[in-house]
Amino acid sequence: MKNKIKVILVDDHAVVRAGFRMLLSTDDSIEVIAEAERGEAACQLYLEKQPDVMVLDLSMPGIGGLECIRRICTRDSNAKILVFSVHDERVYVDRAINAGAKGYITKHAHPEILITAIQKIADGDVYIEQGLTRQPVALSNERLETSETDYKPIIDSLSAREFDVFLLLAKGLTAHKIADELCLGYKTVANYGTQIRNKLGVASVAELAHIAFVLGVMKN
């Protein structure tokens, strides 16, 4: 008999984790061996439990999902991490895979996709939900003309948390709302905002939104 796939669930909402656990319990090939609600705890649990697959949200308190992926994969290049997130922007998929994740699906997907993705990744495959790998729409001439400064290397150099704050600011969220969303302090978010604007050489949220649109990292 084939051994069960050992899974760790990482999400900051207990109700969400309970739903995941209930769903996965319907498949005899999968066993949830542990849960975590923060990236730091997830890193520690991974080392202790050595799961076959870790199912991980990106938006969490503390270091967040992207940094968690990076730290685990730095320690174990064979780590099998599946991102399960509300974010369906291509840029999140790219950053997660570049950090070392072996799969990416959204919470809008059919529930059975989670089981399929876990099984595929446990077998050594990469699984990305259909539709998330479409290439961004080509920039129009007008948009190209307004992007003379090459912002992409700067955006790529942002830390995981800076990137989260950048996108949320670009979407029009206030620092207070971002603090609630990311479970960070207001002053921490404000400091991130200042650092991001300084790196990009802009002064307003409108300019951040323009950059995100021009680079195709945010849906209009």
Is CATH 3.40.50.2300 the classification given to domain 5-128? yes
User: pTM above the 0.75 mark?
Assistant: no
Higher pLDDT, 192 or 151: 192
145, pLDDT greater than 90? no
The amino acid occupying position 36 is A
95, pLDDT greater than 60? yes
Most confident of 43-52, 140-149, 150-159: 43-52
Residue spans per domain, the chain: 5-128, 141-214
State what percent of residues in the chain have pLDDT above 70: 90
pLDDT digits (tens, 9 = 90+) for 186-202: 999 999 999 999 998 88
Chain mean pLDDT for the chain: 86
94 CB neighbour count, 10 Å cutoff: 15
Domain at 141-214: CATH code: 1.10.10.10
Residues 213, 171: Cα–Cα separation, whole Å: 10
DSSP-derived secondary structure letter, 138: P
Residue 21's pLDDT is what? Answer: 92
DSSP-derived secondary structure letter, 125: -
Buried b / exposed e along 164-187 (16+ C-beta atoms within 10 A): bbbbbbbeebebeebbeebebeee
